[in-house]
Every structure is written in C-alpha cells, then in structure tokens.
Amino acid sequence: MKKVFAIALALFAMTACTSNRTNPFFAEWDTPFGIPPFEQIREADYIPAIQEGIRQHDAEIEAIVNNPEAPTFDNVITAYDLSGGLLNKIVGVLFNLAETDNTPTLEKIVEEATDLISRHANDITFNKDLFAKVEAVNNQKASLDLTREQEMVLDKIYRSFADEGIALDEAGQARMKEINTELSALSNRFGNYLLKENNAFKAKFGVAVSEYTEAMTTEEDRAKREEMFRAYSNRGNNGNETDTKEIILNILKLKEEKARLLGYENPAAHILSDKMAKTPETVDAFLANIFKYAVARAKEEVKDMQQVMDEDIKAGKVETGATIQPWDWFYYAERVRKAKYDLDEEITKPYFQMENVREGVFNTASKLYGLQFEKIENAPKYNPDVEAFKVTDADGSLIGVLTTDYFPRESKRGGAWMNNIRDQYVTADGQMVRPIIVNVGNFNKPTADAPSLLSLDNVETMFHEFGHALHGLLSQCHYTTVSGTSVARDFVELPSQINENWAFQKEVLAGYAKHYQTGEVIPDELVEKIIAAGNFNQGFMTTELCAASILDMKWHELASVEGIDIAEFEQKACREMGLIDEIIPRYRTTYFNHIFNSGYSAGYYSYLWAEVLDKDAFELFKQKGIFDPETAMSFRHNILEKGGSEEPMTLYKQFRGAEPDPDALLRARGLK
C-alpha cells in the first residue's frame, strides 16, 4: 500500500510541476525550523496540494479501517491522531494567510478549499466503519491501562463522532453533511464581507477599524463622532452587497437544524455540552450577576461624563440640552480620566514603542518560565511586516518558533489573535515536533516621524495574545488532539488573560517602558497614574463585553429564527438585559465575527468566565510574588504545558489548590 501510494504521489507531483517546479507542499521544507517557505508558495499551489492532502488522508483512514488486527489505542486512536499530516501542513499556511494577507484570488481559493475540506471532514465524521473501530477501543478503555492524556484523547475523538451525528439514519447523516458544508461556506463568506466592510470604513474616514476607539477618544467634532459611530456600528447592516444579515440568519437556521438533529433544544445547548459551563442556564446566570454590577458602575460613569459635557454646554461648545450618547463615550471618558488621574495617552504613548513592548513581553516570559527569544534573521515571511523568533528553554532546548505580525493592512482582518502554523506533538517514532505560533495585531504603523507607539489598550492586547502563544509554545503533549490551545473554549482564555496582569506592574514597566526619543524609563509618577487609573471606565468596558456575551447567548438559545428581524431582536435583547442607552454591545450582531466566523458561538462569555480563573490565579501570584519561581513553574506545568490532556477544572485546582473564587473578577475590576 505504501509503495503504491508513493508512486501515486510522485505521478501527481509531476503533474503539478511547471518548468521542473515541484509544488512546495510536496517537499520537506529546508528552512529554519521548518517555517513555511512563503516566498516559494504560489496561489496556484494550494488546491492541487489540498486535493493530494485529502487523498493521502483518505488512504490513512482506509488503512485504519482495513487493519485486520484487533482495534487498539495505538492502531486506531494514535493512528487517527497522526493522520492528515500533509493536509494539516497546507491548512496551517492557507488559513493563516487568508486572515492576514488575503487577495481576491486567495479569497476564491479559500472558498474552494473550504468546500473540499468540509466535505472531506464529513466523510470522516460519518465513516461508520471508522467509528466502529473507535467505539471498540472506547468500550474497552477501562482495561487498557491508558495514561490520563490518552483517556482524554480517546474521549475527545469518540465524542467528535458521537456528538456530530454518527448515530443518525442515512437521511439524517446526509443532511448533516450538507449543513456542515454550508456552515463552512457561510462562515467564510461572513469573514470576507466583514473585511470589505472594515476596508470601506477606513476608506471613508481614513481610520482603520482597529484605530476606531483611539480616533473617537480624540475627535473633538461631535457631529464627526456621530457619523463615525453610525458607520462603525452599522457595518454589515447597510443593505449593500456586503450586508451580512442574510448570511447570519442562514447560519443560525443551519445551527438550529443541526441541534435538532442531534437532540438538543437549541444551538447553545449543543455547543455547551462539552464546555466547563455545560449548560446555557449556567452561562446566563453567570453573565446576569456580572452585568448587574457592571451596569450600576456604568451609570455612575455617565454622570461623571455628563458633568464634563455640561461644562462644554456652558462654554458654547455643545448644544444646549445635549446628553451623553454612545458616540460621546470614548471622548468624554478620556476627558474624565484626564481630570481624575491627570493621565493623557498622548503622554504615555511615547514610552510604549512596539518593539520595546514586545521585548517586555519576552522578558516577562523569561523571568517567569525561563524562556529565551532570538530573532531569526532572513526567516521566510509572507509579508515584510512579519518577524520570526526562535524560542528556547532555560537549558537551551527548542521550545518553538513565534512569528509576530502587528500592523494593519487592507488584506488583514481587524482585531488581534493567535494561530498555529504547526502544532506540537510527538511523531510515531517518538520524535518531538515543536510548534510554530503566530501572534497577529493591528497596532499603529510607524510613520516618517515616529515608530509604532502603542496605547495602553494595545499594550494589554500584546500581552494577551502572547499568553495564547505561550499556551501553544509550551505544550508538552503527545497528541495533536489535545495539544496547545485544543482545550474547552471557556478555558482557552485563561493563559491569555492572566498574562495581561504583568503588563503594568511597576517592575515590569521599568524594564520596557522607555521613551522612544530619549530612552528615559517611564517616570514613577506616570506609572502611579496608570496604576491608579487601572479600573477607570470598568463599568463601560465590562458592560459592553457582558452585553455582547448575552447577545451571543440570546441568538444561540433560539429554537428558530424564522421571521425574526435582526435589528428588532437585538434591540429587544438589549432592552431585556437592562443595557443603558449610552452603551451598545462590544459587537453588534452584523459584525460579530467571533460568533459567526471564529468559533466562539455561544462562547463569547468565555472571556469573562476565564477571567474569574485568571484573576483568582493572579491573586496567588500577588501573595507569593509576581515572579515567584515555584508559582510560575506550577502554572507552566499544570496549565500551559497540559493542553487538553486533563479536565480544565482539575488542571486549575492542581495549580491553585482550590476552585476559583467567583468574586475574583468583580474585585479585580473594582466592581465589588
């Protein structure tokens, strides 16, 4: 079989050659640490490579199914976990580029690739002969003497079949395949539409979506602020060719049908069945409690801002009778902050040059976990803005590769995120494969007059995404099924959010916050102001985040969206939750990328859920010392290295010694 397959691959590679050129995906990459040779890969390479990757994966699955030996963990579960290597190699490159350096041609390629991969995934998910092998292993698991990681891998793989409808009849399975394929296509289209909407916003105002908050903070013209707010908050809701409403309703209809086929009342019940929260009712109660404290504080913040606006009214700068509106919040909140704390971001920014902040992020990880970072000169890159770093452990052994891509461009979607180009795992012959991780942001680009200077929020974002990177880099699992960030969605934000806590600690700031012109370390007086203002505007920030989480749940708790108007439903949801008129959800429905394109459906609450864990965990660091070696290594070994190899709460309690205090979040945000 292997010989025949090798011949088939050689023949296919020949057909993929032009002028003796072989598709780069069919060769071993002779690059530093196996970084993809981006400069060699052509857009025409992707589809042939994916087709071959699917053929190889099909052959690997067939080999598992046709193995005449009795099903064992190794010949079924391990073989399944290791299968699809070529396909994973291609996907790791293609879908990262689709988010960071998209082109019209690549957009079409991704649409075709998404369809091919979705159909291929369906064929595996509904392969009854393969499931029979998995089920046979699962039925004997009590007698197999498995490690805890192997038990988790087996359970996750078994559930990937059982929870996706392997028990459905033939008609049900056929329909489920159609649903999965349609959902993949619609999700991809939503992302493409939103990218175009974001670019249209920038073309109109000269401001990237990622720069919106900062622009609203400094824009003195109230009419201009209102115009920008309405354009920003109506993305995807303009009745044009990139309007997302129809896509959203179709996505929700398909999710609802899928939930019904699987015996669940609604999509939320289905999605949450394997998360820490388990049920929609648990999430709803969790969010309602936080929202109560957040909105109460937000109302106080409105009063503070109205006082400043009233002064502007008296001075004739604002019309008589004006009250704070959503487009006023960022502007007047900044005015209040300056008055209360004498803190001006235009004064702090010069101390937060992007490269210095990144160095601060690296140094923090070095102090905590013993990691070292070395820039890889002449590393392959898909865009000139990208930089790559070799990450090693205290003993010099390789941890992995981190690439950073921090500046906005029209080909990149908005926001910030972490992704894997290559997962961490152990090969069949026992070789450790170390990961290649991507951190992406949309920070201010350097100008002719100044380098990239970050806002306080940008600084926090860089620390956040690097926390995700640590989760991927430090993984010490055997199986890709559970390695790195392959954990429950409401646990995955713990490593990222706890890492934010070091960003503005005095001893951390002293090491990286240096004026880009003079090299002066940030003055103690300014540090005190930053710390004092740390919980400023938390009513607003918690309310908008909580409101978006509740809106997400409201959509996914519906049994049917038939006849629903998106705008009316959103207004009703906001009214019922008690959202004040001065605030809108952090993401309105028509541009809620997290839940319609990024895997956070009925899961946006995860940021707040994980924050309970992270704030409770950081209280231990504060008790022991924020760089206490024993505490740091306990967090590394029990959380960052473990991936999904154990139940999340078990991992947390192994680190903390107890379950988290649910009020830790409220205390940290100054809400209780």
Q: What is the pLDDT of residues 67-99, one digit of tens each?
A: 999 999 999 999 999 999 999 999 999 999 999
The whole-number average pLDDT for the span 533-547 is 97
pLDDT at 19: 52
pLDDT at 668: 96
Residue closest to 549 by CA, chosen among 329, 224, 277: 277
The whole-number average pLDDT for the span 598-610 is 95
Calpha distance 148→135 (Å, rounded): 18
Q: Does residue 9 carry a pLDDT above 80? A: no
The pLDDT-based confidence of 7 (bands split at 50, 70, 90) is very low
The whole-number average pLDDT for the span 549-568 is 98
Q: Does residue 51 carry a pLDDT above 80? A: yes
Q: Is 464 exposed, middle or buried (0-12, 13-18, 19+ CB in 10 A)?
A: buried
Q: Which fold has domain 350-534?
A: Neurolysin; domain 3 (1.10.1370)
Structure tokens at 618: 């950081």
Phi and psi of 391, rounded to 5°? -115, 125
Residue closest to 300 by CA, chosen among 262, 252, 264, 333: 333
Catalytic residue among 465, 544, 570, 582: 465
Structure tokens at 67: 């193995």
The whole-chain average pLDDT of the chain stands at 95
Nearest 5 degrees, angle CA 620-CA 624-CA 627? 100
Sole residue written with tokens 């961490």: 424
pLDDT at 21: 83
Calpha distance 517→117 (Å, rounded): 50
For the chain, give the percent of residues with pLDDT over 70: 97
Nearest 5 degrees, angle CA 552-CA 554-CA 558? 120
Residue closest to 437 by CA, chosen among 495, 396, 395: 495
Q: What is the pLDDT of residues 295-333, one digit of tens each?
A: 999 999 999 999 999 999 999 999 999 999 999 999 999
Q: What is the pLDDT of residues 160-199, one digit of tens each?
A: 999 999 999 999 999 999 999 999 999 999 999 999 999 9
Strand 387-392 to 398-405 pairing: antiparallel
Q: Does residue 15 carry a pLDDT above 80? A: no
Whether the CB-CB separation of 164 and 259 falls below 8 Å is answered with no
Q: Does residue 11 carry a pLDDT above 70? A: no
Specify whether 52 is catalytic: no
3 state DSSP class of 22: coil
The whole-number average pLDDT for the span 413-418 is 94
Q: What is the pLDDT of residues 464-522, one digit of tens each?
A: 999 999 999 999 999 999 999 999 999 999 999 999 999 999 999 999 999 999 999 99
Q: Is 32 left (phi over 0), alpha (psi -120 to 50) or beta?
A: beta
The whole-number average pLDDT for the span 59-72 is 98
Q: Residue 517 has what DSSP assignment?
A: T
Where do you find CATH 1.10.1370.40 in the chain? 350-534
CA dihedral 203, 207, 212, 217 (to 10 degrees): -140
For the chain, give the percent of residues with pLDDT over 90: 96
Where do you find CATH 1.20.1050.40 in the chain? 22-125+127-163
Calpha distance 300→298 (Å, rounded): 5
Count of Cβ atoms closer than 10 Å to residue 309 Cβ: 21
We find that the CATH architecture of domain 22-125+127-163 is Up-down Bundle (1.20)
Q: What is the pLDDT of residues 153-167, one digit of tens each?
A: 999 999 999 999 999
pLDDT at 5: 34
pLDDT at 198: 96
The whole-number average pLDDT for the span 61-67 is 98
pLDDT at 533: 94
Nearest 5 degrees, angle CA 189-CA 584-CA 202? 50
Q: Is 206 left (phi over 0), alpha (psi -120 to 50) or beta?
A: left
Calpha distance 355→453 (Å, rounded): 9
Calpha distance 113→48 (Å, rounded): 10
Report the range of poorest mean pLDDT among 1-5, 369-373, 484-488, 661-665.
1-5
Q: Is 656 exposed, middle or buried (0-12, 13-18, 19+ CB in 10 A)?
A: buried
The whole-number average pLDDT for the span 16-42 is 87
Calpha distance 381→403 (Å, rounded): 9
pTM of the model: 0.92
pLDDT at 397: 98
